[in-house]
Structure 1
């Protein structure tokens, strides 16, 4: 059996030896030291320990009995027609945050948005979401948002602000002074129309779009190859062979929610299918995409250009075309070229580098492989990134020269995330008139003289065209909580229009989109239907763009130049959780572990194991770069030798209490190369300091212990034997001392396909939102007090410098022979007649016997009153800020808010099960297969999780559990779990 390991320390020590973990001592540890050692620094003894225990228990009892607050329920005097108390309403909408997009449903209860689901009707995202989409609901209730218009620190009415702004804009127009509107890429058709109208009213105004994670080089390359700037539609579901050069398409590159679904679809082995795509990844840092590859090659970012040029040259050789004079390719590149040619028209080559030369060669390579029109479509384009990096350089130059007399900024934060952010900040302060139209204070908005606060997207109307002819609508799930006004309405007001934005959208859609369909006889019916569905995807015929091969002689020569540099290469990447840092004040995302390192609440410098050994560096050592900045070290298996990597999104200085000063801002480490932002820099030197740093890591313990918890095999083996990699079956009939359980009605269960699970973590945030799971903060994570009901275990295997990676979601296994149920002295945990392991919170007295007896370690103990369920103020342990009535509005009323001192764990979303059963009962029928979905299943963009009734022999779940790939965790101990897994299959060459 292949040996798997979670950390380098575990790999070194072996599974039989515990891994030392540095944990700062809290009150509990101090008390244990007193008890075990007899004396501490204050000469305390065992008697003092018992006194302290007794005091803490007594004072908790007194506070709990004295300070229970009175909660009042206010009934509706006149009930709104659309609201039925206790029943959820869903509003089809769209999530937009910069280039992040998803078609969604907003779940509301009694007028409160509490959860976001994916929209199954979307032809782009197909019901999937990401962790950031799930967590965005929390931003609605962020008390750190702007609450009203401001002029300096002075509150204004909207009328006063509008008058001031219009007077200033008219004065500047009369004097023909330059005004700039700075926004992210706008891919809303009606918003573009609003901006165009605004530009007509103020012809002296210039519109600049800025993407801090731009695709500027890709846009320029496509303009040279097709005569039109745009991003082609990548079809990973059509590709039999995917070759990626540092394109993290499953993590952050372009449209990951769509790419994940396509990728997983091509790699699922079901219904007798034995074919799956093959994925080869070249990269320096172990990315989420690289960790899922069949074959991953660690290379320096500076070597990408040469490797791509050599690959292109080898394909030209195979085709018998004239080649370029460059360095001879390695045997691996020659073999890869042959494999690509064998899959011509069914392959896909992508690169994440923001480098024009690289993108031009990639385009030429895909053209020679006949991929355009098959795995690459130019008639359908991705529209979420349209900004050109050089435009931002020109703007900074104009700001510094004093040419710009007024600056309007919306949805961007260049002072924080632009590589010349400090210069940008100083230039903004010199602008005579400036106004921010942002949602919340940030490093840029606080420098503006006026603020016209925007609505949260859940309070807004809008439309979106994330891909060509794929439209979706955004509608509010609640009225604005504060005195804010959405950006588009503000521009309309300053343009002198008397239309509100909703009327403007409807007018725009009637004029532009109504004629694209013939199903509805009038616009009102068409509008209402589209609003209800959330999407409108007409069948439009778009002329295919012809590929024109640019002269790449010089490009190939430049790409083939060997980069000579001393020192290390440093790559800046985007965090899967926090992205570019806009959502840094979101505690759910801060506490979401990085998929690879399993570290939360921090960014850090990744270094290769080989480099760490040479420099005698250990986990948590602090090093100093040659720019004077210091960073803690994480030794990342798979990191390319002589390279470093660090994530963006941290180091916010103007932010809410959650995200302020968490980690370090590294945007200034980026640079501009040939008019395009580059996120890697060479010539970095590091030296070890004497400092040590504690990481909040959620996965440092042993869990495999030599057992077959993760099972995997190669595709060739699977074709020969459907049970390949799964030969560890333990079938013990009636092995227990108890009678075999029977479930006469339903027997609920889950199956997780390890081949489809990519480890993105979206399910963990969906579970958190659905089940009111609290976050605990960095200090408590370090003490292993995290509360997440579903964790994603990450296992390495093989060589530490070129490891394989497998992800395995683990939640309560709902064992039919549950060890936890036998040891509870108060029967707080028991088994239902439908196969669910239940928790009766009211009975639980916190012995934690069940947690100790659980072999899967999935039960969570409430150490503190994180959600104030005990009504005792406890701000010290409330990093989410869920102490105000506003913040608590996000809590799901269908799920009990657990009190301090009780055990909690996955309930398999029992509230959803009950709702599904009741709905079926009202209709006089049985529950249909697939009708009930758990929160983790519903949000999973890859479709890796399947929930259903194991008693239903015709259900998809029963079919999956009957597969040769199906197995249970720790079958040998006969706990009879209701959660099962399908083995991981890799498409590796034998």
Structure 2
């Protein structure tokens, strides 16, 4: 019987859903071949010249410019061997250093890959029990910021370069003056979850007791911390375990995107949803939210609601659970059938369910705690004794600091790692207060809207140049070690504080002393500290052997008053606006990173901008369409994107854009909407009511990648419900391999290896980590907004997003698509110069120096995964005329990010996924040197290694005992466009939804 899900209509945009094609976007595609040649290659065309210069300016220190510089022709090139070779460096072989990624409250345990002493790639650390080898797109892209030439390069005073000795002398004099006069100063930092750094700060505060320490997270978890303190007497953030929950209910918590620790949450979440190795059960996920988030797009059931309605829904849910428990409930409005049904489902799954909320509202978080307590979830799917420590700042502290700065009570400010002038909702007030200070010090790594107002700059190192330790979760420690010496005359924040505290020890020795005194006694495996330290440093992580004895009892009284408050809250009128962090840009710290700017949002597939998402119904009523510019009553103007699934009468816009001081890449990209947040009950909240929107006559072009490719009605995405899958493992995939013998050619034989990939659509959440990892590994260039609009993006792996169902509340499916490495490849037999050929191991290869750019192969590729390199990376006019006067050192710096194992492509060639052939060759050579066979899983592609969900499986299809061979035998396994008999080496596992009916 045909499965209804396999027959669902999938669409990539509203235009395609209505018209069967995406006419507006197709109009923005490149012109015909002749016109393209005239536009792109005519050097006399003034417009073309301007576009090229704009592109180079836009990309800043990006890989695109790195490519230009890497291919510059030099008159003399010398290869000088080591006189005394460093013991740890073997030319041509990579070294890996276990370390940790930190960006404000973001954390990940990582390995830094270096070649000849220069970091070129970040990998996940498999030994971490927090991240388990997973990474995010921002973690992968952070390597590029090491080589950002807009970073601070030396200490300065009043924008004039000075030495560290002069700076230390001046600052000590000022600090001692403040101390002697008992005048208040503040040290402002993000949440510090480094034990050693806390010790350094405490030492500094002892030396200067007039200094107060304030922590600031621009996206805080204040409500969670306060709610847990009120409910359990223990402040902090619970340790959430999505892998222990059979039923997950989320009220606007984007835990797969940006909420708390998404890398860890993605792994936990997908672990319960894999259907491999005979597993037949998966968790069920229900999401209440206004905007279609990454988490909502992965939910089995998604219910669009206004942000202001969520507290009432949570109160009703709590009331219904109390009724099921047989205890007295509260007087509240009658719950809907959906809420009553949800309460029953949760009650049936008590002890193995999890309810979470993302809103920074104490009352709401208290109710969430009460629900989880009644469902007996504490001790299983969440624990208050084991805590997440990455977000500990309290919002009211920033309000007090602003008041003290404004009134003059605080006389001095020392700031590290924060940018409140940009990202605090009263940023302008902060800016005015800072300008009045006679003494101010910034310890930031790069210029930002706040640091440029400070008198002294004591620049911090990049984290890849730093030593540190971290405790992201209770008793889970990790170390940070440098992969390179500081590139500029910078100094670690901790070292600066130690110097100003009068301690003549370096920070590494300080860390080692702290670990010897505090952490070494917590283990019994190593007989002396040296062996313990060396092992911890090598592994990058350490888990303390501690026992937790915390009795979780709900202690809060007065729930009735709280529920009455919620019940009596008047309903909002007009639009509700929500501000959120995008999966790519985050809070805006990485705005000057072109890899991040060009990473499409997982749901909207738009890059290089933020925009106002509006529901289709609202757009129809207001005569709005994507690209219309609208004005809000706050004075902010934004382009509209009509987003299926957006709740009616709600709009949303991403933070992190509109930077005015961050380097050439991110400057003035998008609009800063931080001021649209507000304070409610001493917590910064993300939504506002009473928003008025007016349409202007202006248009704005958005760079959107999804509409460059289409399913054209073909079964590229296949899916089924869990019920149908249990009845028939081939559900949704009935045509599985039906065309296996459809061709006229014999199936090729690969006697040794036959490399392939399997992508589990059930595990892929669409986060984009694989795309940035591929970009970093394979020297893939950035093209800029204008070229993305022209469908000239260069990403080797794209993540297609497809909607199905109604535009009010559609289902979403993500599908990574890369070169399929077809064994009967249609690209190979049309190339006139044999630039693309098939290897004896099943790889579709490219000989770049043979390619003449006919693009026949790209035209003949049914998967549209080949990228034509339009830009002139090797032309001399792309390099400043005063090359030697401007930045010779800087140019060399930009080249350092390139992977020497991968060819840097010149203009006019087709490039594409190589299945990381350089990694395959390295694995084969290592096995050969060891005199053994390759082990399954020994070779990992860049996309596979970065993926936090384990959705990508790579291996040898000829190895019948390998994981990939087993997955290809699954009845869920299928290939794209099997009917044209291209025999791809990449296959997919159907998407299974845990829904009751086929068409839910």
Please confirm whether the aligned pair reaches a TM-score higher than 0.5, indicating the same fold: yes
Q: CA-to-partner distance for each residue in 1:176-219, whole Å, 9 max, x for gaps?
A: 00010000000000000000000000011100000000000110
SS of 1:900's partner is coil
CA contact (8 A) 2:605 2:704 kept: yes
1:290 aligns with 2:270: no
Q: CA-to-partner distance for each residue in 1:499-531, whole Å, 9 max, x for gaps?
A: 100000000000001111111111111111110
With 550-559 and 322-331 compared, the bigger mean Cα shift is at: 550-559
**Within 1, Cα distance between the matches of 2:875 and 2:36?**
24
**Within 2, Cα distance between the matches of 1:680 and 1:721?**
45
CA contact (8 A) 1:306 1:561 kept: no
CA contact (8 A) 1:185 1:211 kept: yes
CA contact (8 A) 1:603 1:646 kept: yes
Aligned partner of 1:55 in structure 2 is none
Q: Which of 293, 313, 324 is the matching residue for 1:318?
A: 324
Aligned partner of 2:799 in structure 1 is 792
SS of 1:327's partner is coil
Q: Which of 471, 476, 480 is the matching residue for 1:465?
A: 471
Q: How far apart are 1:377 and its partner, in Å?
A: 1.2
With 852-861 and 704-713 compared, the bigger mean Cα shift is at: 704-713
Q: How far apart are 1:729 and its partner, in Å?
A: 2.5
SS of 2:339's partner is helix
Q: Which of 162, 169, 190 is the matching residue for 2:168?
A: 162
CA contact (8 A) 1:68 1:870 kept: no
Structure 2 length as normaliser, TM-score? 0.94
Aligned partner of 1:46 in structure 2 is none
Aligned partner of 1:304 in structure 2 is 310
Q: How far apart are 1:546 and its partner, in Å?
A: 2.5
Q: How far apart are 1:538 and its partner, in Å?
A: 2.0
CA contact (8 A) 2:718 2:991 kept: yes
CA contact (8 A) 2:610 2:670 kept: yes
1:122-137 equivalence runs, <5 A: 122-137=128-143
Q: How far apart are 1:234 and its partner, in Å?
A: 0.3
Aligned partner of 1:911 in structure 2 is 918
Q: CA-to-partner distance for each residue in 1:241-268, whole Å, 9 max, x for gaps?
A: 0000000000000000000000000000
Aligned partner of 1:494 in structure 2 is 500
Aligned partner of 2:53 in structure 1 is none
Aligned partner of 2:50 in structure 1 is none
CA contact (8 A) 2:736 2:971 kept: no
**Within 1, Cα distance between the matches of 2:74 and 2:194?**
49
Aligned partner of 2:977 in structure 1 is 970
Aligned partner of 1:223 in structure 2 is 229
1:876-887 equivalence runs, <5 A: 884-887=891-894
Change (3 A) 1:381 1:29: farther
Q: CA-to-partner distance for each residue in 1:593-652, whole Å, 9 max, x for gaps?
A: 000000000000000000000001011000111122211000000000000000001000
Aligned partner of 1:45 in structure 2 is none
Q: How many residues align?
A: 960
SS of 1:167's partner is helix
Change (3 A) 1:882 1:77: closer
**Within 2, Cα distance between the matches of 1:830 and 1:406?**
66
Aligned partner of 1:838 in structure 2 is 845
Aligned partner of 2:547 in structure 1 is 541
With 722-731 and 438-447 compared, the bigger mean Cα shift is at: 722-731
Where in structure 2 are there 5+ consecutive unaligned residues? 1-6, 48-68, 882-887
Q: Which of 22, 28, 34 is the matching residue for 1:23?
A: 28
SS of 1:960's partner is helix
Change (3 A) 1:194 1:842: same
CA contact (8 A) 1:149 1:484 kept: yes
Q: How far apart are 1:379 and its partner, in Å?
A: 2.1
Aligned partner of 1:633 in structure 2 is 640
Q: CA-to-partner distance for each residue in 1:108-139, whole Å, 9 max, x for gaps?
A: 00000000000000000000000000000001
Q: How far apart are 1:706 and its partner, in Å?
A: 1.2
SS of 2:303's partner is strand
CA contact (8 A) 2:742 2:979 kept: no
Q: CA-to-partner distance for each residue in 1:1-42, whole Å, 9 max, x for gaps?
A: 111000000001115x7554453989988668999xxxx999
Q: Which of 910, 922, 935 is the matching residue for 1:928?
A: 935
CA contact (8 A) 1:746 1:949 kept: yes
Structure 1 length as normaliser, TM-score? 0.95
**Within 1, Cα distance between the matches of 2:634 and 2:771?**
37
Q: CA-to-partner distance for each residue in 1:123-177, whole Å, 9 max, x for gaps?
A: 0000000000000000100000000000011111101100100111011101000
Q: How far apart are 1:567 and its partner, in Å?
A: 1.6
Aligned partner of 1:52 in structure 2 is none
SS of 1:700's partner is helix
**Within 2, Cα distance between the matches of 1:903 and 1:215?**
47
Q: How far apart are 1:702 and its partner, in Å?
A: 4.9
SS of 2:127's partner is coil
CA contact (8 A) 2:708 2:791 kept: no
Q: Which of 253, 271, 292 is the matching residue for 2:277?
A: 271
Change (3 A) 1:732 1:65: closer
CA contact (8 A) 2:411 2:439 kept: yes
Change (3 A) 1:725 1:70: farther
Change (3 A) 1:172 1:815: same
Q: Which of 706, 715, 738 is the matching residue for 1:699?
A: 706
Aligned partner of 1:146 in structure 2 is 152
Q: How far apart are 1:380 and its partner, in Å?
A: 1.1
Q: Which of 345, 348, 362 is the matching residue for 2:368?
A: 362
Aligned partner of 1:81 in structure 2 is 87
SS of 1:314's partner is helix
Q: CA-to-partner distance for each residue in 1:365-414, whole Å, 9 max, x for gaps?
A: 00000000010112210000000000000000000001111100000000
Aligned partner of 2:762 in structure 1 is 755
1:90-129 equivalence runs, <5 A: 90-129=96-135
Q: How far apart are 1:906 and its partner, in Å?
A: 0.2
Q: How far apart are 1:736 and its partner, in Å?
A: 2.5
